[in-house]
Structure 1
Amino acid sequence: MKHLFRKMSLKRRIWVSFVLLTVVCISVTGTYVSVFFSREMKTQATKTSQDTLNKTAQVFDERLRNIVVSVSTLMMSEPFQYTMRDVQANNSSDYYNRLSQLQTPFAQMMLTEQSIDSVLVHTPIGDFYPTESKRNMSIDFDDTFIQTMILNAQKQWATLWVSGHADELFSRGNTVISLVIKPLFEMQLPGVYVVVNIREDYLEELIQAHLQEGSLRQLVVDRSSQQAVFSSEASLLNDNSRLYEPIVDSSRGHFEYITERNNPFLVNYVALGMNPDWVLIGYQSKSELLEPVRHMRWTILTIMGVCVVLALVMSSMLSELLLKPLSKLRNLMFKVEQNQLDVRFESVFEDEISQVGHKFNRMLEQIGELIEEVKVSEQAKRKSEIKALQAQIDPHFLYNTLNTIYWKSEMEEHQDVSGMIVSLSLLFRLGLNNGKEITTLRQELEHVSQYLKLQAMCYPDLFAYEIPVVDEKLLDIPVLKIILQPLVENSILHGFQELPHLGVVRIEAAAAEGMLILTVTDNGSGMDAALVEKMLNGADTKRISYALSNVGTRLSLYYGYKASMKLESEPGVKTSVKLIMPIQEVINE
């Protein structure tokens, strides 16, 4: 297959590639969509079914709980307690009197819970029941299905639920679910049971009212006996044992079940709180649930066939249109790989390939421009970095400072000597900044403050300086290091040398509209601000101050167009240099 593909012409390879790409893309997409939707539908159906079952179980449990409460109310009534005392004393002489007294509690219980079909209190001295219900005297309690369930109970119990069966105690013979409770009395009375028969159809209607979610069907089973609770319910399958295996120990969950006829079902279940042996099961056919997915798969196959035909037609047309100009463009790209950036694409056509060729030409031009810009930018950056390093350690400044320290030491001005040494040490430490180009405004102000302090001692009576208190919120803002010291140096060396009065340098920091503004102001000899700004923005910077050029270039390199430097000057009165830069700007060193 690989050898055959290599022997094909490029045009045929385009055909095959288009067809294969179409088939693979649609197949992968269709498979993914069908699998995704199958899983999603199964997950959503399982979740919806589980939520519905949980709500149904809650309502069902609440109804059974109310019935238990009603029976408990009956057993705590005085007539019932008096009856139990007679049973304890084996006194049957007051049987009819007790039977009459119990009619009112019986009526109240059945009125409160209309789902109760009948009630009977079985005792050794006789059975007690509502007189309006006709007792089936042909069957003794000991011969009933309920008595059989009581005798077959595997564990100690106080409350026993009996699955659906025909009522044998009363002549109506309705299908009921029985609740058997041992009496609430101060001592255990053997052979005494309170039997409450609940209408099975009422409980079925209660469940059906909450199980109307599409194809979801219900089944209530007793996992201890592996039988349906409602006698009217049909089993989900013939072999029930495999259905009960997953629900033996857990209280709720879901699983997939396959019948003997290979019919898959999604099964959810939840155990009832009033009787954990009873499990409410919801099941739905997986085949019916995923029927839309099967239709989707056939649709995808149809789309795939149509797309394969279209791919053959389109590949034939496109191969004719694309191969010739693409080959030409490919040859030009090979030349560009050999660093021949002066090649250009030419075509008499105005189609998309020609537009790509023109974009290719434009890209080559931009690459050339970018290469030149990078060269110029890197040269300027290197120059600025070299000048910045030179500004950190000015030999003339260092000589004057050390010379001043020496003479003050000779004159035994030890306090001044100590202060200058400390200031010089701090100046170098802050200037080095662990080799980092970025510092904080706090450290930058401290650096220029130490510089001014040293210069003031080297040039006594030449100038004074002021650094007003800066807002504490601004002191941790990141800034370029050593951008103030060159400006201050410029003022001292060029602004105050021939000044007839005392020079003053003032440094201020403020913030406005997301920008940090640093201002250096002096009352020196000044400059032509307009001319200097014009020369700073031009190519010729030989005649302007190195300090202004250095600071301006560094601001431009690191902040781009967002930063600026404003100059104002009135000779002998006020000259200010204002640096404006963005706050919290992320700078890569």
Structure 2
Amino acid sequence: MRKKFLKQSLKTRIIYLYTIFVLVLMGGITFYTYYFNVNLLKHKEDSILQDSLAYLEQTISARIELVNDEYINVFDDKQFLQLYLGSQKSEMDKGTRLKLNNDFQIYLAELKMRNHDIIDAINLYTSDGQVFSSEYRYQMTFEQFQKTTNYSDCMKNKNKILYRNMEVDNGQFHMLRSFYFLDNGKSNYPSVGYLSEDDEDYSTLVFSLKKKYLRNVISEEAIERQVSVLIIDQNGKIVVREGAMDWMSEEERSELINEIEDYVSQGYQGNFEKNRAGIHMRQMDIADWSIVYIYNMNILYQQAGQIRKVAVVMFTLAVVVVFLIASFISRTVTKPIRLLAKSMDEAIENNMEVVFETKYEDEIAYLGNKFSELMHRVSTLLTEVKSIEKQKNVEQQKALQAQINPHFLYNTLDMVYWLAKMERQDNIANIIADLADFFRLSLNKGEDITTVKKETEHVQKYLEIQRVRMDEKFDYEITIDSNVEESNVPKLILQPFVENTLIHGFQSVNYQGKIRISVIREEEDIIFFIEDNGIGMDKDLLETLNDSRQIERGEHGYAIGNVRERIYLYSGNKHNIAFDTSVEQGTRVQIRFPFEFKEEVKYDENVSR
């Protein structure tokens, strides 16, 4: 199958591969789009429900918080304290007791009326067994109250406000607190005490709150969000519930409610799914109760079904269109490729000036243009190579001539040397010897490559000759790292800079000149340093010398440009020459050359020389 496919034309393969690719891609996109939108719908629904939960929690908590504030303020109310202290008198006639009951009822009824939307009744159970209520008939006697879990919870949590749901649903839930008053001896009114552990010292104030208020608040959200809303107490028991769950069976509803109650009793907050229901749970700030949303996931799946239908239609249309697009694309690809192949055939026939032309501006056109540039570069490089080869032939001929001429020069200098010796002119003999060595090292047997040791010996001979000529107006020092003595470098790379120092650096100075030459190895490079204490140079000249593009064969540039050119030819643009100077503070030249290099010319027409 693979061999058969490879034997097909490029156009056929492009159509085949493009069709498969697009179909797979469209299938993947369709599949991803469907599930992405389903998850997006789910995320959006989750976000809406979470916002709704937060709204309910804030609404209910804010209202209960106001009642809580009313509850707390009771214990600082002088009227309440007067009534309560009046009820604690051991001797009280019937008329006084009736008045006290009536005053208490009025006080508690007024408190209830200020919060009539949520408070159903207020009852006070005193430590001596009395009951005072906002109603004409209170709900239970003190003895009955003592038998309830509300009383036992209050005694276990003395002086703490508790929120409790009734075991038997009578439409109420309770806010209650046990307390006793301690006479502090500093005022006419006692303060709430915290020290007694005896249950008989404690009275209990109970606010009976309406579950109807909770139902009214949550029913609006249940209808608008199409959810079932539950408020569950800290023990996992349902306080109120609104919204139908008729999409589930009775068994499924019972199982889900039991699981939710277990989650709440464990303090769980968050989301989970079960039996096609999405459950969102949030704890309330007050009472440690939780609000729970139960969402019918079938509604979400119905919306997802509509998205799935649209996705299938889009995929079907894509299948119809893809083949036509693939055919068109294959033609736009194969045509410029054929033109490029034709240009390459011309290049094979040694037409290096071939130019690729196309009306397209795509990757094939880019490749063709690069091919044209390549042919132009090849043609340019061939011309340059021919020119360099021609120049090398000329240099080789000059080298052959140079191998003949030095013999006469050396013999003549040797004769002068011995004549000076015979006349006991040692200074002249030494200069002749230095001059002979200078020429010998300069010619280097016609080779352009020498060693670091020979190059420094060459510049040393030059400096010795110049010291005699300039009446020893300068000193010099040469140090070489022993690791680089036998390393190869182009010849005559130091003498031009030393000559510049003598001609320009020590011009018009009235102090002893100093030249220091050092050679070190730094990683994979050899570095020559040439330093002097001459007059230096100005900023413009320094910038010119450091910019290889601006060096001309002028007063300062001929020899330097020659050295830079040869370093470039052997090592590339990375290794070069750098100047550092300031007026009247001397000059420092750094020449960098590779420690190891191939003795062949490098070509790179993109690098500025």
> How high is the TM-score relative to the length of structure 2?
0.56
* Contact 2:551–2:561, Cα closer than 8 Å, also in 1: no
Deviation for aligned residue 1:8:
7.5
Change (3 A) 1:404 1:298: same
C-alpha distance in 1 between matches for 2:6 and 2:500 = 81
Q: Are 1:227 and 2:268 matched, yes or no?
A: no
Corresponding residue for 2:133? 129
C-alpha distance in 1 between matches for 2:64 and 2:14 = 73
Match of 2:284 among 266, 272, 297: 272
Corresponding residue for 2:205? 194
Corresponding residue for 2:72? 72
C-alpha distance in 2 between matches for 1:90 and 1:42 = 67
Deviations 1:412-448 (A, max 9, x none): x9xx97xx54xx66xx89xx9xx9xxxxxxxxxxxx9
Deviation for aligned residue 1:233:
6.2
Deviates more, 1:294-303 or 1:366-375: 366-375
Aligned AA for 1:258? K
Deviations 1:173-229 (A, max 9, x none): xx33322221343345548422212233334445568889855663211251x3321
Change (3 A) 1:318 1:275: closer
Q: Which runs of 5+ in 2 are unaligned?
A: 182-192, 393-447, 488-493, 512-525, 575-606
Deviations 1:305-342 (A, max 9, x none): 11212233444566678768756756877998x99885
Aligned positions of 1:475-494 closer than 5 A: none
C-alpha distance in 2 between matches for 1:459 and 1:345 = 54
Corresponding residue for 2:582? none
C-alpha distance in 2 between matches for 1:453 and 1:88 = 121
Deviations 1:436-476 (A, max 9, x none): xxxxxxxxxxxx9xx899957998665479xxxxxxxxxxx
Deviation for aligned residue 1:269:
1.8
Deviation for aligned residue 1:147:
5.9
Give SS of 1:275's match: coil
Aligned positions of 1:455-494 closer than 5 A: 455=501, 462-463=508-509
- Which structure has the higher relative contact order (CA within 8 Å, separation 6+)? 1
C-alpha distance in 1 between matches for 2:214 and 2:551 = 97
Corresponding residue for 1:24? 24
Corresponding residue for 1:183? 179
Give SS of 1:368's match: helix
Corresponding residue for 1:581? none
Change (3 A) 1:238 1:320: same
Deviations 1:335-373 (A, max 9, x none): 98x9988596999xx8759x9887665432201234466
C-alpha distance in 2 between matches for 1:40 and 1:280 = 24
* Contact 1:216–1:283, Cα closer than 8 Å, also in 2: yes
Change (3 A) 1:59 1:549: farther
Deviations 1:377-414 (A, max 9, x none): 9x99xx9xx99x99x97766444557889999xx9x9x
Change (3 A) 1:284 1:143: same
Deviation for aligned residue 1:279:
0.6
Aligned AA for 2:277? P
Change (3 A) 1:357 1:33: closer
Deviation for aligned residue 1:43:
3.7
Corresponding residue for 2:37? 37
Aligned positions of 1:120-519 closer than 5 A: 120-123=123-126, 124-130=128-134, 133-135=135-137, 140=141, 148-150=148-150, 156-157=156-157, 158-163=160-165, 175-185=171-181, 186=193, 187=196, 188-190=198-200, 192-206=203-217, 218-224=229-235, 226-230=236-240, 237-239=253-255, 240-250=257-267, 252-255=269-272, 257-259=273-275, 263-265=276-278, 267-276=279-288, 278-289=289-300, 291-315=302-326, 326=337, 362-371=369-378, 397-401=459-463, 421=477, 455=501, 462-463=508-509, 505-509=535-539, 518=543
* Contact 2:30–2:315, Cα closer than 8 Å, also in 1: no
C-alpha distance in 2 between matches for 1:346 and 1:519 = 41
Deviations 1:206-255 (A, max 9, x none): 5568889855663211251x332126566793321222344443453222
Corresponding residue for 1:564? none
* Contact 2:125–2:132, Cα closer than 8 Å, also in 1: yes
Corresponding residue for 1:562? none
C-alpha distance in 1 between matches for 2:29 and 2:554 = 64
C-alpha distance in 2 between matches for 1:554 and 1:358 = 39
Aligned AA for 2:101? L
Change (3 A) 1:325 1:97: closer
Deviation for aligned residue 1:119:
0.8
Aligned AA for 1:545? Y
Change (3 A) 1:52 1:483: farther
Change (3 A) 1:66 1:360: closer
Change (3 A) 1:367 1:10: closer
Match of 1:102 among 82, 101, 104: 104
C-alpha distance in 1 between matches for 2:557 and 2:342 = 51
C-alpha distance in 2 between matches for 1:127 and 1:362 = 102
How many residue pairs get aligned? The number is 456
* Contact 2:105–2:132, Cα closer than 8 Å, also in 1: no
- Percent identity reads 13
C-alpha distance in 2 between matches for 1:549 and 1:60 = 92
Change (3 A) 1:238 1:196: same
Change (3 A) 1:209 1:252: same
Q: Which runs of 5+ in 1 are unaligned?
A: 169-174, 436-447, 466-480, 493-503, 511-515, 521-532, 560-586
C-alpha distance in 2 between matches for 1:361 and 1:542 = 47
Match of 1:546 among 559, 570, 578: 559
* Contact 2:155–2:199, Cα closer than 8 Å, also in 1: no
CA RMSD of aligned residues (A): 6.0
Corresponding residue for 1:117? 120
Aligned AA for 2:77? S
C-alpha distance in 2 between matches for 1:367 and 1:298 = 54
Aligned AA for 2:163? W
